[in-house]
Chain A
Amino acid sequence: MEKSLNWREFIITRLIKASGYSAIIFVALIFVFLLREGLPTLGEVELKSLLSIRWYPIEDYFGILPLITGSLIVTLGAALIAVPFGIGTAVYISEIAPRWMREILKPLVELLGGLPSVVLGFLGILVLSPYIRILLDLPTGLTALTGSLLLGGIAVPTVVSVAEDALDAVPRAYREGAWALGATRWQTIWRVTLPAARSGVLTAVMLGVGRAIGETMTVMMVTGNAPVLALKLGSLFSPVRTMTATIAAEMGEVANGSTHYHVLFFIGMVLFLISLGVNIAASSVVFRAKKRAERILS
């Protein structure tokens, strides 16, 4: 009896350990694969060509700058939409809405987060882009702005969900303390609740931005896919092409092992590094906040 129990314990512990390690191993393998397929690019394409502004792989023009700027401008636009809206919604749900409203809104927002991005892209093509074309009098409605609006929509639920949790975790006593001092509801939110939930709200923003950078399907459908360098504000109203959309659109048709193939993986590496950067920034913010709290509590 005693013995078999120990034995079971042993197996279960090992299984859990193995599944934990496998997650790390998978990520490492993916990274190794990316490096193996992407790094040959540096031998095949000159750095100068890689950093040029012309992406036309059929004639061996592999300038990835338009793709990077395309991704950045769409993501930046999305962040500008998702951050204020997301935090605003989170504040409304957690601080202002009556209880019945909160119970409707929270699941609704989370449901929105589960919406397949292809469905959003579909809505973008059929509804949003004609509207934008007419409203702004553009030659096409498939622009960076369209992508930003939709990506913003995709990132909002992430921001709301995480930020709301963070606000909810602020002790009620903080709010009561401020109210008792004669602070209005708004003053309490702005000066007490939000600063107290700062690290959680920052995490929410980072996760939302991360979600936007990595999003593929929607942007491929609505941004027009023109690899044009997007540096001016006006670029927001013209078609762009993101890194994710490029990989998704071209990977299926590329000759295995060709330069083009390697460059696509190289783009994947760049994307990976950007996401990694965002994630590290997010966790370092949280980590710093935690360390600070620990220092204070000790």
Chain B
Amino acid sequence: MVDKIIIENLSLQYSDGTESLRGISLNVREKAVTVLFGPAGGGKSTLLRCLNRLNDLTEVRTSSGRILIDGENVLDPKVDVIALRRKVGMVFARPVVLPMSIRENLTYGLELAGEKRRAKLDEAVERSLKLAAIWDEVKDRLDDPAIALSGGQQQRICLARVLALQPEIILLDEPTSGLDPISTGKVEAALTELKKEYTIILVPHSVQQAARTADYAAFFLQGELIEYDEGKTLFTTPKDKRTEDYVTGRFG
């Protein structure tokens, strides 16, 4: 397995002094699900947002360290952020379908990237909806407003929207926190399928989900990376006492 992302000594502090990262070093393997978990305020979302530079738009006081994706430091100010965000797709906790039809939600990113050919767009819509396991539910109403779908469907639309851009890395920030168990199951099943092709980094909304989905797992506590290991190892025989306490439900 190749390291797709190498995070070296990453530190970050927001300008209001809240949630920060302290000296995170982490290697993310290609074509696997890496889970970042831990109690709220641990810096998991912040780390995700560094990977596609979405933090550029928040007020950050200081940051240091490097993030290498395929050997290129993406924190370098010269990096083409737009291209980076196409390569590193992101799905948010609350599904945010854009105020357009289902089809437009999926083609929007592609159109921004300059794709105009109808056939290509249609093909991308079908392919990504199938990958996100929602094709059968929406194929007959692609031109309906996306906002009319249920929460679970919207979240899979968001996933499909990211997939349509054919990224290499997919970031998911508590993608199932607002979903019912059945929808959650569908999203998780889609992830298992997707990791054959993509590098996936998931912030799960529960320890149970972390344990279910993780190939690799990283435990974060108050901005620090406490432990990082294969999922099987970390959830059965954690080395750090704090990890063990959290995984077994003694705190958090």
- Interface residues in chain A, defined as those with a beta carbon under 8 Å from any beta carbon in chain B: 99, 171, 173-184, 187, 191-192, 195-196, 296
In the complex formed, the residue of A with least CB distance to B86 is A182
**B99-A195 in contact (CB<8A):** yes
A153 vs B89: C-alpha distance when bound (angstroms)? 44
CB neighbours of A195 from chain B (8 A): 99-100
**B83-A181 in contact (CB<8A):** no
CB neighbours of A183 from chain B (8 A): 82, 108-109, 112
Partner of B98 from A99, A177, A184 at Cβ < 8 Å: A177
**B54-A174 in contact (CB<8A):** no
Whether B165 sits at the interface, judged by CB under 8 Å, is yes
Partner of B85 from A173, A182, A191, A196 at Cβ < 8 Å: A182
In the complex formed, the residue of A with least CB distance to B90 is A180
Q: How far is the CB of B114 from chain A (nearest CB, A)?
A: 11
On whether A191 and B52 interact (CB within 8 A), knowing A173-B92, A174-B98, A176-B92, the answer reads no
Can you give 17 A-B contacts (C-beta < 8 A)? A171-B96, A173-B96, A174-B99, A175-B57, A176-B54, A176-B96, A178-B98, A179-B54, A180-B90, A181-B85, A181-B86, A181-B89, A181-B109, A183-B109, A192-B98, A195-B100, A296-B145
In the complex formed, the residue of A with least CB distance to B148 is A296
A183 vs B100: C-alpha distance when bound (angstroms)? 15
Whether B44 sits at the interface, judged by CB under 8 Å, is no
**B112-A192 in contact (CB<8A):** no
A190 vs B161: C-alpha distance when bound (angstroms)? 19
Partner of A179 from B57, B113, B148 at Cβ < 8 Å: B57
Binary CB contact string for chain B from 142 to 159 against chain A (1 if under 8 A, 0 otherwise): 000101100000000010
The 5 closest A-B pairs by CB, nearest first: A181-B109, A177-B96, A180-B90, A182-B86, A173-B96
Whether B94 sits at the interface, judged by CB under 8 Å, is yes
**B147-A179 in contact (CB<8A):** no
A56 vs B252: C-alpha distance when bound (angstroms)? 83
CB neighbours of B214 from chain A (8 A): none
Tally of contacts, chain A with chain B, CB under 8 A: 64
Taking A174-B98, A176-B92, A177-B96 as given, write out 11 further A-B residue pairs in contact, using a Cβ cutoff of 8 Å, ordered by the A residue number.
A173-B92, A177-B92, A177-B97, A179-B85, A180-B90, A180-B162, A181-B109, A181-B161, A183-B112, A191-B98, A192-B99
CB neighbours of A179 from chain B (8 A): 54, 57, 85
Partner of A182 from B59, B109, B145 at Cβ < 8 Å: B109
CB neighbours of A196 from chain B (8 A): 99
**A182-B158 in contact (CB<8A):** no
**A182-B98 in contact (CB<8A):** no
On whether A182 and B96 interact (CB within 8 A), knowing A187-B112, A296-B148, the answer reads no
In the complex formed, the residue of B with least CB distance to A98 is B59
Q: How far is the CB of B81 from chain A (nearest CB, A)?
A: 9
Q: Taking each of B59, B108, B162, which has the highest tally of chain A beta carbons within 10 Å of its own beta carbon?
A: B108
CB neighbours of A176 from chain B (8 A): 54, 57, 92, 96
A196 vs B147: C-alpha distance when bound (angstroms)? 12
In the complex formed, the residue of B with least CB distance to A181 is B109
In the complex formed, the residue of B with least CB distance to A174 is B96
For window 123-138 of chain B, which residues contact chain A by CB distance below 8 Å? none
Q: How far is the CB of B108 from chain A (nearest CB, A)?
A: 6
A254 vs B158: C-alpha distance when bound (angstroms)? 68
